[in-house]
Structure 1
Amino acid sequence: MNTMKIRLAAKTDMGIVRTNNEDNFQVAADLTSDKMQWINNEVYSLGEKGTLLVVADGMGGMNAGEVASELAIETVREYFSSDRLTDEVLKNRYSIEKYMNEVIVEADARIKQEAKRRPETRGMGTTIVIGWILDGKLYVSWCGDSRAYVYNPVAGLHQISKDHSYVQGLVDKGAISKEDAFDYPDSNIITRSLSDGTAKAKPESLLKPYELCDGDIVLLCTDGLNGMLRDSEIEDVIRNNEADMDCLADELIKAACEAAGSDNITICLCQILEGGGVCMPDTFESFDNRLAGKQRLDTRVPQHDTEETVKWYRKKTFIGLMIAFVLVLIGGGCWFWMQNKGESQVEMKAEGDKKDTEKDGKAQSATDTTEMRTETPSRAEKTNPSKSTKEQNETGAPLSVSTEIENSLEQISGVSKPEKTGEKKKEEPRLTLIHDNEPEHAGEKKEQNTRGQEPEKQKKSGEDTQGAVHPDSTHTQQYQVKEGETYFSIAKKFSISAEELMSMNNTKNTRLNAGDIILVPKK
């Protein structure tokens, strides 16, 4: 068990308007002792059975409220006597909270019995809030609008109980905010209390016990304090009087009286000096969210940073910056990789296009070379026929061209080699040797042969012209391709089809580049 050191104080005041005090309270520094007693501002060690704080706000007028609050406190004293707090009661959290709620229900029953016994007190009732500090934890049970707060220098002041009131119901529904509730009309209407009709009291406990921290100040009070001062004003008074609980109680009552003082004021205080945990700024987040209702408003006020708070924020900030740095590195790496990948794809595509262009240029050059070769021997034959005849006479073989030239001529004319050769063998006259002793006859025969060949050549030329389009100078002309032109656009200019134009240029490749030279029909 933790050795916890605490300092206590408790006071009540009638206020400046009321003529009687219907509030009541009880403090027990050590429940292990049979005597419920304490001394303001005295330092105590937390006993095995803990420390008790109780506040009750009576109502009903004509001294009836005072009777109801006194009956509630008497019931608490009885049930929290040392012999009643058995091991079964202290077994765990649930047994402790169950016992506290049973005490409140019993107080409700006794008040109702007293109202039946004494008709003049009928209509009396009271609120109640019990704080039990046990084994380093704060257990709270309540019925009505008397409150439990916890203040810590790091986190400020926070309400940990939830009012059973009409205004809190509006906050829960989201109709008004937590801040607006202070000034809202009918804020004194409560929805639960002891001796409220014939139904049994319905006390409430914290969702979970509060783990006490060093520097905490537990405050239990009636609405004579929190109804006169806002939470931020209560916090300012506490912050200025942290070192002295007795002085703090006086200052809180004084501030409430100066604000209005229209109700009785009762306060119980317990400060945790040592043996508690370390408070963090978000310790009270669950309590704040529960009280803020649907709007989930943050009711915390600005606080002064302590060394622990600064360390906590620095650690959180460092972790956040490290995470952000790692994310930036990952994002930058992904961006760099995507950029390099895109540039590589563009370079590969450009290189591929360049290779295709070079291949097309080579193919076009080869076609032009072939055409030039086919034209050269034909011109040679026409310009120097005697040389060919002489060579033929010397070798004794028929006049013919090379195989390469024949193949080129076949592609242009469209006449197959066997047919062409057959025609030559059939139509060309056989040449015979002329002896030296026959010069005149040789000249005549030569002239006859020459004359006989001319009609044959004309006949053959006519047949070839009918079979195919010849790219000769009589029917074609050279044309330089301009930017953006194609075989189709050029053919349209010369009133022929693209297929005929491509056949005229002996190509099946439809690609043209600006500056290329092609053959076109003469207009």
Structure 2
Amino acid sequence: MPAPQQPAQADDYTLQAPDPRVAADAAEAPAQGGSPGSAVCVACRAGRVDDDGYCENCGHAQPRERDHMEQECGPLAAVSDRGLRHHRNEDAFAVGTTTLPDGAPVSVAVVCDGVSSATRPDEASLAASRAANASLLDALPRGTHPQQAMHEAILAASEAVNALADEQPAEAREHAPQQNAPACTIVGAVVTAGLLVVGWVGDSRAYWIPVDRSAPPARLTEDDSWAAQMVAAGLMGEAEAYADHRAHAITGWLGADAYELEPHTAAFKPDRPGVVVVCTDGLWNYAESADEMAEAVPVDAAARPLHAARVLVGHALDGGGHDNVTVALVPFPAVPQGAGSA
């Protein structure tokens, strides 16, 4: 299904940064044994890279486009990295800006984490992030309330992921029509003057970090996970639950084999400027509490969101990089003078 058209702002300043795992001078290495213009292996710097992305000389897999991706879009930015242990990046993000009917600017960020035990998790996260982003950027200028727009965006993302199951070979669908279907989690944020809306399914999270660090930060989402259920039921403390090997077993996700979909949305009216951190567990595993996340976020994050996103990804990589890492940073502007409180 063709993707809905999006405002031009959604694709501004897209870039792919150099992969931090690759030697800086690899691109300048002369090709040996390959035709002119052939891609050169980043490992041996001699062999030609075949169409499947492997060096014909040493067999080394080359960095994929999604191994490290960055995007800056107006006042917000996002970074995604494969991490140090996974062979591919199964996270995805989409960011964009548009305006409300009254002309007020609005920022949108969506982050998705593919479920590794499912088939084609990288495709699931990409389809979900794009569908949710397109839905939001279509609905908000038409006057749909941001919280309703977020709800509809999550449903659109779910439909996009479900459609991937229908693309499986006929033989696979016959033997296991919904089993192990493509799946992912999702978290998104919509920020406009005086209003912050988040929505999610799964265990990707959103955090509120005020510019004034003397004010308390907050986690804005509650995980759909085994650990969160144990804590909510009073059966375990948070530290004990998240230390358990079952902690990250998710109880909600997008996918054809998911249970009944229950999109979560919440709206907030912060009374001061700050930044919203939208991320996968590849980051929050290394900064789980709101206080820990606030400590990891640079103090100038609202003014330099791309720099701050890079710092946060680096924080996760320095901590071990056991998972893919994706984070979007959305500055929340100062509340207009005379604005009423919720």
What is the TM-score when the length of structure 1 is the normalising length?
Answer: 0.45
- Structure-2 residue corresponding to 1:101: 151
- Structure-2 residue corresponding to 1:257: 317
The answer to whether the aligner puts 1:56 opposite 2:106 as a matched pair is: no
- Aligned AA (2:159): A
The two structures, once aligned, show a CA RMSD in angstroms of 2.9
Per the alignment, do residues 84 and 255 of structure 1 end up closer, same or farther by CA in structure 2, a change over 3 Å counting? closer
- Aligned AA (2:114): G
What SS does structure 2 have at the residue aligned with 1:274?
A: coil
Per the alignment, do residues 218 and 81 of structure 1 end up closer, same or farther by CA in structure 2, a change over 3 Å counting? closer
1:34-433 map, 5 Å: 48=104, 50-60=106-116, 64-82=120-138, 85-87=141-143, 89-90=144-145, 96-119=146-169, 122-152=180-210, 153-195=213-255, 197=257, 199-206=259-266, 209-231=267-289, 232-242=291-301, 244-275=304-335
Per the alignment, do residues 205 and 272 of structure 1 end up closer, same or farther by CA in structure 2, a change over 3 Å counting? closer
What SS does structure 2 have at the residue aligned with 1:24?
A: strand
**Could you tell me how far 1:54 is from its partner in structure 2?**
0.7
User: Greater strand percent: which structure?
Assistant: 2
Superposed structure 1 runs of 4+ greater than 6 Å apart: none
**Could you tell me how far 1:66 is from its partner in structure 2?**
0.8
What SS does structure 2 have at the residue aligned with 1:29?
A: strand
- Structure-2 residue corresponding to 1:10: 78
Per the alignment, do residues 150 and 277 of structure 1 end up closer, same or farther by CA in structure 2, a change over 3 Å counting? farther
Distance between the aligned counterparts of 1:272 and 1:79, measured in 2? Answer: 21
- Structure-1 residue corresponding to 2:93: 25
Per the alignment, do residues 175 and 254 of structure 1 end up closer, same or farther by CA in structure 2, a change over 3 Å counting? same
- Structure-2 residue corresponding to 1:435: none
Contact 1:211/1:277 (8 A) holds in 2: no
Contact 2:139/2:149 (8 A) holds in 1: no
Distance between the aligned counterparts of 1:15 and 1:58, measured in 2? Answer: 14
What SS does structure 2 have at the residue aligned with 1:156?
A: coil
CA offsets 1:233-271 (integer angstroms, 9 cap, x no match): 322122555453222212211111121211001001122
Contact 1:104/1:201 (8 A) holds in 2: no
* Identity level (%): 25
Contact 2:252/2:259 (8 A) holds in 1: no
**Could you tell me how far 1:179 is from its partner in structure 2?**
3.4
Per the alignment, do residues 144 and 83 of structure 1 end up closer, same or farther by CA in structure 2, a change over 3 Å counting? closer
What SS does structure 1 have at the residue aligned with 2:114?
A: strand
Distance between the aligned counterparts of 2:306 and 2:160, measured in 1? Answer: 33
Q: Which runs of 5+ in 1 are unaligned?
A: 1-5, 34-45, 91-95, 284-523
Per the alignment, do residues 277 and 67 of structure 1 end up closer, same or farther by CA in structure 2, a change over 3 Å counting? farther
Contact 2:188/2:198 (8 A) holds in 1: yes
**Could you tell me how far 1:171 is from its partner in structure 2?**
0.6
Distance between the aligned counterparts of 1:198 and 1:17, measured in 2? Answer: 27
Contact 1:49/1:85 (8 A) holds in 2: no
Distance between the aligned counterparts of 1:246 and 1:117, measured in 2? Answer: 36
What SS does structure 2 have at the residue aligned with 1:11?
A: strand
Per the alignment, do residues 217 and 276 of structure 1 end up closer, same or farther by CA in structure 2, a change over 3 Å counting? farther
Distance between the aligned counterparts of 2:159 and 2:239, measured in 1? Answer: 35
Distance between the aligned counterparts of 2:225 and 2:115, measured in 1? Answer: 15
CA offsets 1:95-127 (integer angstroms, 9 cap, x no match): x42332222123213322321221479522011
User: Greater helix percent: which structure?
Assistant: 1
CA offsets 1:118-158 (integer angstroms, 9 cap, x no match): 14795220111121113410011111111010012132331
Contact 1:7/1:273 (8 A) holds in 2: no
CA offsets 1:188-207 (integer angstroms, 9 cap, x no match): 2000000152644211112x
Whichever of the two has the greater Rg, that structure is: 1
Distance between the aligned counterparts of 1:125 and 1:171, measured in 2? Answer: 25
What SS does structure 1 have at the residue aligned with 2:217?
A: strand
Distance between the aligned counterparts of 2:136 and 2:288, measured in 1? Answer: 33
- Structure-1 residue corresponding to 2:28: none
Contact 2:186/2:200 (8 A) holds in 1: yes
- Structure-2 residue corresponding to 1:379: none
Q: Which runs of 5+ in 2 are unaligned?
A: 1-73, 174-179
Per the alignment, do residues 31 and 200 of structure 1 end up closer, same or farther by CA in structure 2, a change over 3 Å counting? farther
Distance between the aligned counterparts of 1:237 and 1:47, measured in 2? Answer: 34
Distance between the aligned counterparts of 2:131 and 2:286, measured in 1? Answer: 29
